[in-house]
Copies of this chain bind each other. A is one copy, B any other.
Amino acid sequence: MAAGDAAARDDGLEFWFDFSSPYAFFAAREVEAMAARVGRRARWRPFLLGALFPKTRMAPLTQQPLRGTYGLRDWARQARRHGVRFAIPDFFPVAAQAPSRMFLHLEQADPERAVPFARAQFAALFSDGIDISRPEAAAAVGARLGLDETALLDAAGDPALKQRLRDQTAEAEARGVFGAPFFFADGEPFWGADRLAMVEDWLRSGGW
Q: Chain A: residues with CB nearer than 8 A to chain B?
A: 1, 55-57, 64-67, 69-70, 73, 77, 80-81, 176-178, 188-189, 191-192, 194-195, 197-198, 208
Contacts and interface: CB of A to CB of B under 8 A. Distances in A.
B1 A73 contact: yes
B70 A64 contact: no
A188 B194 CA distance: 17
**Copy total for this chain:** 2
Nearest 6 Cβ contacts at the A-B interface: A66-B178, A194-B194, A81-B208, A80-B208, A56-B66, A66-B176
Contacts of A198: 194
Given A192-B194, A208-B80, A64 B57 contact: yes
Contacts of A65: 55-57, 178
28 contacts: A1-B69, A1-B73, A55-B65, A55-B66, A56-B65, A56-B66, A56-B67, A57-B64, A65-B178, A66-B176, A66-B177, A66-B178, A67-B178, A69-B176, A70-B176, A70-B178, A70-B189, A70-B191, A73-B189, A77-B188, A77-B208, A80-B208, A81-B208, A192-B194, A194-B194, A194-B195, A194-B198, A197-B197
